[in-house]
Structure 1
Amino acid sequence: MQRNRIKRRLRAAISAASLPVGFDYVFLAGPEVAAIDFATLKGWVDKAAR
């Protein structure tokens, strides 16, 4: 159940981020993603895209 929650949160953060078009992205998420707030997760995704 935790794995599904992590996947849903990561998908939501990725869709909310402004990722450049024309690239493939691979995000690896560990159990800590379930415990952090969404704003922090979105910040990590935005930072990774730069």
Structure 2
Amino acid sequence: MTASGVDGMHAIMEAPDLSRTTTEAKGASLDIVVSTELGKGGAIIDGEPALETYLGA
């Protein structure tokens, strides 16, 4: 992520109209954030999914 990407994510997270949802998949947490006012959204991944031995990432 570039510096402008980090700044953009910070702006979304601080937006007064922030909408956020969280989901989990195989050990990884995914936060999806959106600001209608800014017209932007993003995702934050925390952790690593558990993969089968024949699946690479």
* TM range, smaller chain: 0.3 to 0.5
Structure-2-length-normalised TM-score = 0.30
From the two aligned structures, give the one with the greater strand fraction. 2
Flag the structure with higher helix content.
Answer: 1
